[in-house]
Structures are given as structure tokens and as C-alpha cells.
């Protein structure tokens, strides 16, 4: 199958000013810009009804879109939702939509439209989210600079462990399963980071650190280097990896669906940024590497040669 | 299956200011409002790859969304497109996307984002379109008034005959097939009608005259009456009905997918409007009925009792 990357590259060449970030930035006449994004969730590819309750699926469909708004530094305002429902999943579909509407209300987001149709086989969800951002604060992927630190706000690899636990029907590991089933968009953190002067670029972590960092580098026409010896794992992360027979480094580099924020920052701003973030959100930031001149993601440290056997993240088995 | 109408009603009760029209109207601080809409096309429900070329499918996916913008009196600006592609349809999917991008460029619309994923079984398309409209000219369904004439700009029933010819693999009838495969949004006509002072409400004709007029009436808390003796059919329409063994009245009342404009107008403005429209677009308008106080669609004329055996439009056989 031709890749999303190929297709995106082909579209970018036609509409260079919009495509290539988590969300499109539509600058208006006034000081506010719109950010708009669309994500698809296909049954059997992105979710299974076996372990996604309609409520959790509504949560995830909403949050993965809001995460794109967060990655641009935006404030979420509106969503539209389309669903195609196969025979037998009518009640599931109804609960999904009602739950989505309820969650939008709770979070001050207006559900302003959509579409509902039958489908032949697969349950299908398409959400479009719109947000606003101050025109000079919309963050892009293409603006990282050489020497910038590469940093992450939020978890790395946890959602992948949760997915493996769900797929393997492993008991326990609930916090990992929850992180896969019910990720939260880092909206407040995204706005805070976007307003911070030293932050040079941002995107969300959806396809795994390696793949996403490569995308950020490509957009900025730079590369990056990760020192693998610097990685510190939590104890529960290591225990989960052991139970699931997964290499922690593989989960860290290739696990997708965390919806954390990946960003770059000027080295001289790092100490202050880190302290300010901890003060505001009671969460530590993580520094994972540095932007370098040559394209691609490079690794240093003891395990660097062996990482090239790892395959990129896919939801269900493809390529694993 | 629970109906789209039930679900829309449930959502309208939660977000009353947005849902219920062809597109949501997002009023901003300045004199321009945004109109935003989303349509889904599911393989086997809305299209078959057997007779839709990728190019025609791209045309239709774009135009059915633009038709919602047209129905609000808006000017189309941006679209986002998501596709989920099953194994075996990769090349078809690639041609679809390239063709869509090409058509957007030709029509001055920016393709600003989207998503591309695998799917297990069905080819699936989700398009979101954004347009702008002067804040005081966005047309809604809910503003028809008692005594207004019910009028249509564009064809009625032709797309349904085209669908039947395609499904039955009937030779010829090309103009009808083309109207189903490649409908055109009435954007210029929609803007012209929206600016016309006597036009009170508008929507597009996608589910058939009967169903759509009922929706317009419900939104305006009115009913409508159609005199069936006044309907005039073109000769080629009657011939197509005969070849396809379809009652012309059934095609006229229940045939969907025409993407014509259904609107209401003050009786005193009708003559002038009709003449102006003909002068501008070289197309006649059609007056089909009148808004009345009681909810529902009522019929007068010789054939009025028998129409209640007709079933609403569905794409492929459902209910027929």
C-alpha cells in the first residue's frame, strides 16, 4: 500500500501552506487563527468493540483530535462527528454518540454537526475539531532549529503496553490499558508551551517517538540524535514490559498512541522551562535528545546499533 | 436501526444553536461567518467502485459537501478529507486523492488537511468543507413562513433514475447516470438566492423532495402542501421512467441525491425572483408547493391518496 507519508508529500506539494502539521492553521484577518484537524478511527484498525466501551471510544475519538489542537497550542472550540454504523452495532453507535455529546458539553466544546450513515461491514468514526490560537502563537513542526533540545511532556510507550495487554487478554496492567483506551489531550500544557518564548516547534506523539521525531526533523529540514543511555524507565513500566515480553527500549522508541507532546526548545531556556512546567502542572518534562544538522534520527549509547531491528508502531500486528 | 432523525433530534436538544441545517453557522466577531459541514461516503452504501471511477467519486465527495455550503448561501474556501482504504483498493484510493486535490485547485478551494488509514473491509470517505458567508446572509431551514412558496432550483428525481440505470446495468440514459455520478453543487445560485430579500429559508435536496421538505417544515414548525396536478415532467424524464419501470411521481417525490436547492420565498417576490434567476443562470426555477400551518407534507390533486405507498429514498435497495 502506498504510504500516508507519500500521499501527504504529494498533497503538501500542492497546498504547501496548510498541510504537514497536526492541524491546519487558517490565519484570519484578526489576531485569532483557526486550527482545524480531522482524524479517522476504523474498526479493526484503530479499535475493537471487544474492549472499547462506547464511552471510552467516544473519549478517545474526541481526545485524539483535541491532541492535534493541543499540539498547535490551540484552544478547542467545536467538533463535527460522522459515524458509519454496520448492522448489529446500532445500540453501540447510539451510546457512542450520546457519550460524545455529553463529553463535549462537559469540556465546553460545541458539537456543531456531522453525519450518520449505515455501513456494510466496519464501524467507522470521523471527527473534525476546530480550535483557535493567537495568530503569533500557533506552533508548527517545521520551525525547530539546530542544537535545540528535543523534549516530551507526557508518557512515552505506555499506551503501546496497554494495547499489548488488551490484545493478549492479560489481566491487570490497568493504568497502561487506561492510557491506551482513554488518552487525554494535553490542551493546557500545549497552550502553556506554545506561549513559552524558547519553544521552537511542537507536535503530538501518536505514531511513536522515533517516527514522529523523524517527521518533525523532516519538516524542519534537520535531524536529531537520541542518547539511549540517558533513558530512565519507571519501575512499573519495566515490570509491564517483562510481563508482556517487550523490550522497554522498543516500547519507548516505537510505541504509538500516547498523545503526549513532542517539542523542541532552545538549550538556554531549558532549565527555566522545566521548572515552570513542573510548577504549573506538577509533571516533569523529559529531555530525550537534540536537533542536529543531518536528516534522520540517529542514536548514541550502548544499544544504538540494535535499535534498527525495531519496526514502527502499528495498531494490530501489521509488520510485527 | 435508530434513525439519523432521532439522533439529530437528541443532539439538537443539547446544542440547539448549531445543529439542524445543512452546515453549522459559526458566527464570528466580524461580518463574516463560517459555515462548516461534514459528509460521509461509505462503500456499498453511498457508492460502488464498480461504476464510480476514482475521479467521479472525488467529484461527488467534493460536490455533496459544497452543496451544503451552497444551501447556506456560502462561498466554499477549505476542505479536509479523510479516507480509509481496504486492501486491494490502494491504487483506486491514490487516484481518488490525487483527483480530489486537482479538483480543489481548479475550483479555488484549499485542501488543508485530513487523515489516511487502512480499513478492514470498506472504502470510506469523510470530507469536511468550510465556507464563509456574510453574517446577515446565512440561510437556514428554520425560517420559512406560512404562505411562502416552496421552490426548487435544479433537477428533481434525475439522480435517482441514474442510480437505477446504473444498478440495473441499463444501457444509455447517460445524462441521468452523470447526474447521479457527478452532481454539481449550486454554489453561485445559492449565494444569489441567499442575497435575495424575499427568500426565507433554504436547504439542499439530498434525500428526496418529500423527506427534505418535511425536514424544512419541521425546522420551521410548519407544514407544506404540494399540488400533484401541477407537476410537469420533461419528455426524457418520462421516457427514462418508462424504461426503468418507475412511476414518475415516485421518482419526483422520493428520489434523492439531486443536490438541487430547495427554498421558500414570499409570494409577492416570486415573479421578480423567477425572472432574475432565469436572467442570471439561464435556468428556470420550479414552484412545487406552499407552506401551511399544520406540520407534515400534504398533497392535493388527483393522485394524492396513492402517494402514501411510496417509500423514502435509500441508496441500494433498503426498503425498496
Coil, strand or helix: which one is A40?
strand
For residue B280, being part of any structural domain is answered with yes
- B207, with CB counted inside 10 A (0-12, 13-18, 19+), is buried
Same domain assignment for residues B78 and B121: yes
For residue A143, being part of any structural domain is answered with no
Task: Dump pLDDT digits (tens) for B137-147.
Answer: 889 999 999 99
A42/B94 CB distance under 8 A: no
Residue A204 CB neighbours (<10 A):
28
All residues at 6 or more sequence positions from A231 whose CB lies less than 8 Å from its CB, including other chains: A249, A252, A288
Tens digit of each residue's pLDDT, chain A (320 residues): 556 666 666 666 666 666 777 888 777 656 778 899 999 999 999 999 999 999 999 999 999 999 999 999 999 999 999 999 999 999 999 999 999 999 998 998 999 888 889 999 999 999 999 998 887 888 999 999 999 999 999 999 999 999 999 999 999 999 999 999 999 999 999 999 999 989 999 999 999 999 999 999 999 999 999 999 999 999 999 999 999 999 999 999 999 999 999 999 999 999 999 999 999 999 999 999 999 999 999 999 998 888 888 887 766 644 33
Coil, strand or helix: which one is A274?
helix
Please report the sign of the dihedral spanned by the C-alpha atoms of residue B310, residue B8, residue B71, residue B289.
Answer: positive
What is the DSSP pairing of strand A32-42 with strand A24-27?
Answer: antiparallel
Using only the alpha carbons of chain A, give its radius of gyration: 19
Residue B293 CB neighbours (<10 A):
9
Which of B111, B134, B157 is the last residue before a domain boundary? B134
Instruction: Report the gap between the CA of B82 and the closest CA in chain A (Å).
Output: 7
Range 231-270 of A in CB contact (< 8 A) with B: none
- B40, with CB counted inside 10 A (0-12, 13-18, 19+), is buried
Same domain assignment for residues A59 and A182: no
* Closest Cα in chain A to B6: A94
Bridge partners (DSSP) of residue A37 are A129
DSSP string for residues in A75-100: EEEEEEEEEEE-TT-HHHHHHHHHHH
Same domain assignment for residues A172 and A243: yes
A10/B126 CB distance under 8 A: no
Which of A5, A142, A176, A14 shows the shortest CA–CA distance to A71?
A142
B36/A117 CB distance under 8 A: no
Alpha carbon distance B197, B137 (integer Å): 10
Same domain assignment for residues B202 and B305: yes
Which of B96, B111, B134 is the last residue before a domain boundary? B134
State the complex-level ipTM. Answer: 0.79
Same domain assignment for residues B165 and B105: no
Same domain assignment for residues A174 and A292: yes
Residues of chain A neighbouring B99 (CB-CB closer than 8 A): none
Alpha carbon distance B46, B32 (integer Å): 33
DSSP string for residues in B1-50: ---HHHHHHHHHHHSTTTBTBSSEEEE-SSSEEEEEEEEEEEBTTTB-TT
**Number of domains within chain A:** 2
pLDDT of residue A159: 97
**Containing domain of residue B53, as a range?**
4-134
Coil, strand or helix: which one is B109?
coil
Amino acid at each position: 500500500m502506498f504510504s500516508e507519508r507519500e500521499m501527504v508529500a504529494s498533497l503538501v506539494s500542492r497546498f504547501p501552506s496548510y498541510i504537514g502539521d497536526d492541524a491546519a492553521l487558517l490565519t484570519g484577518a484578526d489576531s485569532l487563527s483557526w486550527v482545524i484537524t480531522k482524524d479517522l478511527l476504523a474498526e479493526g484498525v484503530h479499535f475493537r468493540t471487544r474492549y472499547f466501551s462506547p464511552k471510552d471510544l467516544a473519549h478517545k475519538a474526541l481526545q485524539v483530535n483535541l491532541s492535534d489542537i493541543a499540539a498547535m497550542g490551540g484552544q478547542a472550540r467545536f467538533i463535527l462527528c460522522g459515524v458509519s454504523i454496520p448492522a448489529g452495532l446500532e445500540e453501540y453507535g447510539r451510546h457512542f454518540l450520546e457519550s460524545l455529546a455529553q463529553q463535549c458539553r462537559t469540556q465546553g466544546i460545541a458539537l456543531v454537526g456531522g453525519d450518520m450513515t449505515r455501513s456494510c461491514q466496519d464501524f467507522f468514526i470521523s471527527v473534525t475539531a476546530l480550535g483557535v490560537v493567537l495568530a503569533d502563537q500557533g506552533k508548527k513542526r517545521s520551525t525547530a532549529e539546530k542544537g535545540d533540545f528535543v523534549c516530551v511532556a507526557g508518557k512515552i510507550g505506555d499506551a503501546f503496553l496497554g494495547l499489548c495487554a488488551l490484545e493478549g487478554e492479560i489481566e491487570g496492567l490497568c493504568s497502561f490499558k487506561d492510557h491506551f483506551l482513554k488518552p487525554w489531550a494535553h490542551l493546557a500544557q500545549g497552550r502553556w508551551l506554545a506561549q513559552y518564548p524558547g519553544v521552537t516547534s511542537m507536535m503530538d506523539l501518536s505514531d511513536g517517538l522515533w517516527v514522529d521525531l523523524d517527521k518533525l526533523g523532516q519538516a524542519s529540514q534537520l535531524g536529531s540524535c537520541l542518547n539511549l543511555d540517558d533513558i530512565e524507565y519507571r519501575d512499573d513500566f519495566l515490570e509491564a514490559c517483562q510481563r508482556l515480553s517487550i523490550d522497554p527500549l522498543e516500547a519507548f522508541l516505537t510505541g504509538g498512541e500516547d498523545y503526549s507532546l513532542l517539542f523542541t526548545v532552545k538549550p538556554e531556556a531549558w532549565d527555566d522551562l522545566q521548572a515552570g512546567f513542573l510548577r504549573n502542572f506538577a509533571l516533569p518534562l523529559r529531555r530525550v535528545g537534540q536537533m542536529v544538522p543531518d536528516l534522520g534520527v540517529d542514536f548514541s549509547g550502548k544499544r544504538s546499533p540494535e535499535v534498527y531491528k525495531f519496526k514502527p508502531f502499528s495498531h494490530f500486528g501489521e509488520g510485527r
